[in-house]
Amino acid sequence: MTIFRIALAASAVFTLASCSSMGSMDPNQLMQSGQLATQALSLSDSDVRTLSDKSCVQLDKENQIAPANSPYTQRLNKISKQLGDNINGVPVNYKVYMTKDVNAWAMANGCVRVYSGLMDLMNDDEVRGVVGHEMGHVALGHTKKAMQVAYATSAARSVAASAGGVVGNLSASQLGDLSEKFVNAQFSQSQESAADDYSFDTQKKKGYNPAGLVTAFQKLASIDGGKSSMLDSHPSSPARAKHIQDRIASGK
Which are the catalytic amino acids? 134
Interior/surface letters 159-192, b for 16+ CB within 10 angstroms, e for the rest: bbbeeeebbbebeeebbbbbbbbbbebbbbeebb
Name the residue among 67, 70, 80 with its Cα closest to residue 106. 80
Per DSSP bridges, beta strands 111-115 and 93-97 are parallel
Cα end-to-end distance, the chain, whole Å: 26
Contact 211, 125 (CB under 8 A): yes
- Residue 49's Cβ-side half-sphere holds a number of Cα atoms within 13 Å equal to 8
